[in-house]
Amino acid sequence: MAEPIKVVVTGAAGQIAYSLIYQLAKGDVFGANQPIILHLLDIPNMMGTLEGVVMEIEDLALPLVRGVVATADPAAAFNGVEAAFMVGSMPRRQGMERKDLLSANVKIFKDQGEALDKYAKKTVKVLVVGNPANTNALICSKYAPSIPKENFSAMTRLDQNRAQAHVAAKLGVPVDHVKNVIIWGNHSSTQFPDVKHATAQINSATLPVYDAYKDTEYLKNDFVKTIQTRGAAVIAARKMSSAMSAAKAAGDHMKDIWQGTKPGEWVSMAVLSDGSYGVPKDVMFSFPVQIQNKEWKIVQGLELDDFSKSKLKITADELVEEKEEALSICNN
């Protein structure tokens, strides 16, 4: 059995964390033979709720959990961690403007970036879940200068999972028979869910999704809008933002970082742009990536038509605007 690793979850008394912690404790993310010490961070007035979460972790009686640290102190929470799930943020509520969310959360991720820089291992892998996730991840990395920027990513896996499940349902195949769906750009309503390079296994044949579905107009219009607005649809239905599906996606994202992607397959995550596909540099932009040895590489050489390029520009422009606004908030 390996030595335990320290894993921090922020916003640990919240709904996403409530679903996520079980995945971590059970071994679904880091592996069935990897013990963990859970570091759970939340704000002081949530400590009572967090105490109840700790009781439940104890009552799970899972052998991989070798310790739990429940705290409101970032120094204790981030001390020596090797993986960080940055879930804690003000959630988006119905009718809330994205800029309001940005203003509230940028300051949180600036402070937590500074704490990561001081206390976490320099090899820590940081996944930002709290929205606006892409720009929060950018700010978090900026204020943790001693940690490589490549170690920071933001979650668009929920969007990928939504798109993959939608296509599978439309084609009448199991969800794991659909591969290489891409989410480009921001985890927002400007994102571009792209199945131009995706495949579907139907019976014994593997077909491009566009050939299998045979409705280009739907895949370029209604499908894109459905995935772009799925988060808002969930909020409208349950009066709260996605929690169970977000937790599953966070686990999927970190599992792929830790264990790598399969040959010939890629996943979507927001990483620091190097200018690939004409995207402006130094924004956290969702690309298709392949991962080996805990290092990601952007998949290169995918052909983009004018329609796709126009969609990438819309979401890139939003991210540049968010970046400028976030830096202005931090500087003030």
Same domain, yes or no, for 35 and 145?
Answer: yes
Q: Is residue 331 in a domain?
A: no
269-302 residue pLDDT tens: 999 999 999 999 999 999 999 999 999 999 999 9
Q: Cβ distance 235 to 92 under 8 Å?
A: yes
Same domain, yes or no, for 133 and 172?
Answer: no
Same domain, yes or no, for 168 and 91?
Answer: no
Please compute the mean of the pLDDT values over residues 95-113 and round it to a whole number.
82
Same domain, yes or no, for 118 and 167?
Answer: no
- Catalytic site residues? 187
172 annotated binding-site participant: no
Same domain, yes or no, for 94 and 162?
Answer: no
195-252 residue pLDDT tens: 999 999 999 999 999 999 989 999 999 999 999 999 989 988 998 888 999 999 999 9
- Could you tell me the pLDDT band of residue 94, with boundaries at 50, 70 and 90? low
Last residue of a domain, which of 137, 154, 171? 154
Give 115-175 as a 3 state SS string.
HHHHHCCCCCEEEECCCCHHHHHHHHHHCCCCCCHHHEEECCHHHHHHHHHHHHHHHCCCH
162 annotated binding-site participant: yes
Last residue of a domain, which of 154, 169, 188? 154
Same domain, yes or no, for 249 and 120?
Answer: no
230 annotated binding-site participant: no
CA-wise closest residue to 110 among 141, 152, 156, 68: 141
Report residue 279 as tokens. 């995207």
Same domain, yes or no, for 124 and 184?
Answer: no
Q: Is residue 80 in a domain?
A: yes
Computed over every residue of the chain, the mean pLDDT equals 95
Q: Is residue 134 in a domain?
A: yes
Same domain, yes or no, for 166 and 314?
Answer: yes
Same domain, yes or no, for 83 and 64?
Answer: yes
Same domain, yes or no, for 21 and 70?
Answer: yes
- Note the pLDDT of residue 224: 96
Q: Cβ distance 191 to 156 under 8 Å?
A: yes
Q: Cβ distance 102 to 322 under 8 Å?
A: yes
Q: Is residue 332 in a domain?
A: no
Same domain, yes or no, for 42 and 147?
Answer: yes
- Note the pLDDT of residue 208: 96
130 annotated binding-site participant: yes
98 annotated binding-site participant: yes
Total count of domains within the chain: 2
Last residue of a domain, which of 139, 154, 169? 154
Same domain, yes or no, for 306 and 240?
Answer: yes
Domain ranges, residue 301: 156-325
pTM: 0.95
Q: What is the CATH number of the domain that holds 197?
A: 3.90.110.10
